[in-house]
Structure formats: C-alpha cells, structure tokens
Amino acid sequence: MARSRGKNDDGDPTDWVTRAADAAIRQAGEGAELITCASGASPSGPVHLGNLREFLTVHFVAEEVRRRGLPVRHLHSWDDYDRFRKVPAGVDPSWSEHIGRPLSDVPDPGGCHESWAEHYKEPLVTSLREMGVEMEEVSQTSMYRAGRYREQVLHAVRHREELEAVLARFRTKAPATGADDEDAAGGAGREDGGAAAGFDLGRFPYKPYCRQCGRDTVTVTAYDDETTDLSYTCSSCGFTGVTNLATQDEGKLVWKIDWPMRWAFEQVHFEPGGDDHATPGSSYTVGQEVAPVFGWRAPSFVAYSFVGVAGMTKMSSSRGGVPTAADALRILEPPMLRWLYVRRQPRQNFTIDLGAEVVRLYDEWDALGRKAATKRDVATLAWERSVSTAAVGTLPTAPVTVPFRLLSSVADVTAGSPDLMARAVAGSGFALSSLDDLEPRLSRALAWVADQPEEDRTTVRTEPDAARLAALTEDEGRWLAQLLDRMPDELDQDGITTLVYGVPKLGRGLGLDDPPTEEVKADQKAFFGLLYELLVAAERGPRLPTLFLALGADRVRYLLGGTPPGA
C-alpha cells in the first residue's frame, strides 16, 4: 500500500485532497482490490455550479489515489429514480401532471432527450469530459428496475423494525403524513393485519410507484412477510394494487435507507456531501447508523459548502436561471474552472464571478502558472491538480499564452475581426502562425466580451469628430501633430507605447525616454482623454497601445484628422 504524501514528500500536509485521499485509503484497508469514491446527484434541473462541487470533490480525491498507483474508481449515481417534485418556471404548467413520477419517466419538455433526467444529465457530462473528469455512471432507475437491489430491499424490509428504531432516534418532526417526507413510505396510518401487525406502515422502508399512473402518491396498506406481497392504494388515480417485492421491481427504498444501502452494495469508501447532509439528524449522520444493518460502515466523508455566482449566496436548481458548468466553460478555460474548486477547502464558501472579475482571475491564473515553474507549495499543487489528470493527461492549453485582458480588449475593439485581432496580437509581441494558436482562450475572450453590457463595450468611431477637431486647443493641436508626424505605418507594442506616453514630454521640451515631470503627467492625462474622445467617443477605454494596434496606423490617422485610409 503506497503511503500518503506528507511533510517530506512533494505534497503539502495542508492540502485537503491529500488528507481526503488518505482517509479513503484507510477506509478501504490494506490491500483493497478497488477503492470506490462516490458522488451522486438528482437530475431534477440544471446541474449548476453549486452541484459541480459534488463531482469535482470526488474527482480530485480519486485522482490523488490513482496517482499513488492504487486501484480506484469514481462512481457516480444519477438519482433519476427520484420523484419529479414541481414544475419550474418557464416550463409548460401542464407538466404538473407528472409530479410524483420518476424523473426518468417525465418527458423532456424541449423534446430533445428521452426524458427530463436525460435532458439535464447530458450537458453536465459533456462539460465534465471537457474538464478531464472521467467517472463510472450508474442510473438508479436502471438499477432498481433491473432488480439489482432486490435482495437489499428484502433485507431492509425484514429489518424494518431495526431501521425504524434508528430513524426514530434522529427524527425531529411528527410522524410522516406525506409522500414528500424523506423518511416516509406512503402516508400515516397503522395496519393491524398480516405479518406486519404492530408496525406503522406509514414508516415502511420501501415505497412503490403506482402501477397505473406511475406516481409515488401511494399509501401502503398491508405487507405479508411470508409472501412478500405489499398492498397499496394511490391517492392520485384511486388504483389499488399489490406488488411482490421478491419478483417485481416497482419502487425504491426511502432516501435515508437507500443511501447507506448503496454504500454497502457498491462498497463505497469515500463520498462527500453538502453541509446540510452533515448536520445532526441529516442523511449522512443517520446513514452512519443505518449502514451496519447492511453489513457496511459509512464511508469517509467530506462536507462541502455552497458556491455562489455573482452575489448569489446559495443556488438551487429548482429556481432555474443559475449558471451551469457549460456556462462557466464559455468564459473560463477548463483547468481554471477546476482550480476554483480544488484551491479552496471544501467547507469554504466562495463565489464565481463571470463578470468584471474574470480579467483579474485570468491574471491570477497566469501568475500562478509562472510560479509553478519555479516553486512548489500548496497553491502550485492546486495548479498542478488543475492542469492535468492521471487518466487524461494534460488538458488542452493555448500554444501561445496571451493575457486575457489583452485578448478581450482586442476582441472588443476589433468586433471580433480575425485579421485585425491577429494583427493586434502580433503587434503586441506574440508570434502567431494563426489564431488557432490562441485557443481555447480566444474563444472565451470573445464570449466574455459578447456578454458585457452595451455600455461597457468599446465603440470605435466610423468618422472623425469634425467639431471636436475644429475646437482643439493649442496644446491639443500640437500633441496630435507630433503623434501623427512620428507614428510609423507598422505599429508595435513597445514603439507605440513609447510614442503615446512621449508626445506630452516632447511638448515640454523633454525627450521620449526622459522621466515625466508632474507637468508632463498632467499633460499625459489630458492627452489620453483626448485620444479616447476622438477614437472611441468615451472618457476611457482599452489601453491606448492595444487600441492603436487593433485599429492600425491608417485608421488612427484618419480619426485623428489625418488622411483617410487608401487616399
């Protein structure tokens, strides 16, 4: 068994991934044939950036185990056999007829997938693959309906008194009376018949879906231990039926029994959960005592906190309109999105800002990459975990790394023109064979610029501002004349930067390379304001050297009162 990375190894002892992997390995025991790290999610709506923490927490831990040369799998359970609870905003209200049916049986209102569940699974899986996340997927609909859990269901029913005793110790509310209660099977009521006499069937550990209408709005009325026949009535359609637990697979265990049952069935050694799962009486704490009934012990556990987006403190897929992994990947490179999750302790809340903070975030990411080339600490270890995986290898990065702030400025000023962008980037000192050398970052810069409010975009003038040019002060006229006289036909970053900053120096009798005086600094501020006014009709805009490179010398001359291009 490989040892964990500690103070004398390459890892850092404060790294949460290392600690979680250590715990998973201890849980599996010496010589384990396979270490199972599990995640789970209900595809009831868009799998948003809060849900993504479930997947990535498991992914990083499984990756660390794999890097140590140990057999491991990332097992993901899709809880698509959960009930459809409510119709979200924007969906045809007629879909309320499906409330109570398994998510896998609810039609996709968009008509593009086989079911409601598949509609929300597919885009998330695509995004995960883009991020290098590989996992073994399990559908709970398929598992239950194929009878894979049949013996576990019968075991739970045989031990229902023992299970109910555990649940009762943690229960903080009155006896269940509705189908939404996660402990409840099928409504309140005591049935004093058959072999189940004396047991509150409102607490029965198994709940069928109605054979006639497919909903879980059923009340268990009787159970016979000898025949394993379970009788029920449905409040939605009035159907009265009998399902045989030994031969028919028409329902599922209630959640707080279902989860620990699956720990035992899949032999799970590590599984995280939201903070709400770790509170007293919650799913994990109850599951710790339920799991031994199935001959297993609860896996090592990491609780994680919520992820917000641009000021939202908690996201809920039922609310709709919250950003998903696919939304974030339009703006952030896959390794960056991974990094946002791995660099923080799971219990640390954080917010992903896909707006103005993106430029700063890219700067921080690039700086960390440069640091990783010379130093190894907990921050660079997070970077290493982000840029590659043991299974996939290094994730795609641009052959030529150009700062995002430059790419976004160029994309903004040029309105996405490929030729103008290539010229501006090359003029900024980056050697390109084609714009493909800038992918995948360039596409993200274009998408981010397109998402910005119109008032934040740069609009280049199409014609010179004749009135403003006619009203130039003596200093302004002299500055523009100096600029136009000295500006070359082929611009480069260093040359145009020196010239733009140097023109006010010339006006004060200094050389281009002389340090500015306080008077020159004031002139520079006024000169820059004039240039922005004449070029983009605003008080400020992209860095002037970038703006000049994007527009080209001919167009700059024209807008500053010179000769029209091609004249």
Question: Domain 458-567 carries which CATH code?
Answer: 1.10.10.350
pLDDT (tens digit per residue) in 125-163: 999 999 999 999 999 999 999 999 999 999 999 999 999
CA 65 to chain centre: 23
Three-state secondary-structure class, residue 43? coil
Predicted local distance difference test score (pLDDT) of residue 242: 98
Predicted local distance difference test score (pLDDT) of residue 197: 53
The pLDDT-based confidence of 172 (bands split at 50, 70, 90) is low
Cα gap 184→176, rounded to integer Å: 5
The pLDDT-based confidence of 10 (bands split at 50, 70, 90) is very low
**Sequence-separated (6 or more) residues with CB below 8 Å from residue 467:** none
CA 103 to chain centre: 22
Residue/partner pairs of 490-496 with CB below 8 Å, 24 or more apart: 490/553, 491/427, 491/548, 491/549, 491/552, 491/553, 492/427, 492/429, 492/549, 493/427, 493/428, 493/429, 493/545, 493/549, 494/429, 496/427, 496/544, 496/545, 496/548, 496/549
Predicted local distance difference test score (pLDDT) of residue 186: 42
* Percent of all residues in the chain with a pLDDT value above 90, rounded to a whole number: 80
The answer on pLDDT for 452 being more than 60 is yes
Q: For the chain, what is the radius of gyration of the CA atoms? A: 31
Tokens of 20: 């979680």
Least confident of 149-163, 306-320, 511-525: 306-320
What does the pLDDT average to over 524-533? 96
Q: Taking Cα atoms as reference points, which of 234, 449, 439, 221 lies closest to residue 333?
A: 439
What does the pLDDT average to over 262-277? 94
The answer on pLDDT for 446 being more than 60 is yes
The answer on pLDDT for 301 being more than 90 is yes
Cα gap 40→266, rounded to integer Å: 13
The answer on pLDDT for 198 being more than 70 is no
Predicted local distance difference test score (pLDDT) of residue 564: 74
Domain ranges of the chain: 16-146+259-358, 173-248, 398-453, 458-567
Global pTM reads 0.88
Residue 74, beta-bridge partner list: 37
Ramachandran area for residue 53 (φ above 0: left; ψ -120 to 50: alpha; else beta): alpha
Question: Domain 16-146+259-358 carries which CATH code?
Answer: 3.40.50.620
> Which residue would you say has higher pLDDT here, 379 or 11?
379
The pLDDT-based confidence of 309 (bands split at 50, 70, 90) is confident
Least confident of 58-72, 196-210, 404-418, 471-485: 196-210
The answer on pLDDT for 435 being more than 60 is yes
State the alpha helices, DSSP H only, in 211-277.
255-266
pLDDT (tens digit per residue) in 68-90: 999 999 999 999 999 999 998 88
Place of tokens 């994309």: 411
The answer on pLDDT for 195 being more than 60 is no
Predicted local distance difference test score (pLDDT) of residue 321: 65
Predicted local distance difference test score (pLDDT) of residue 308: 84
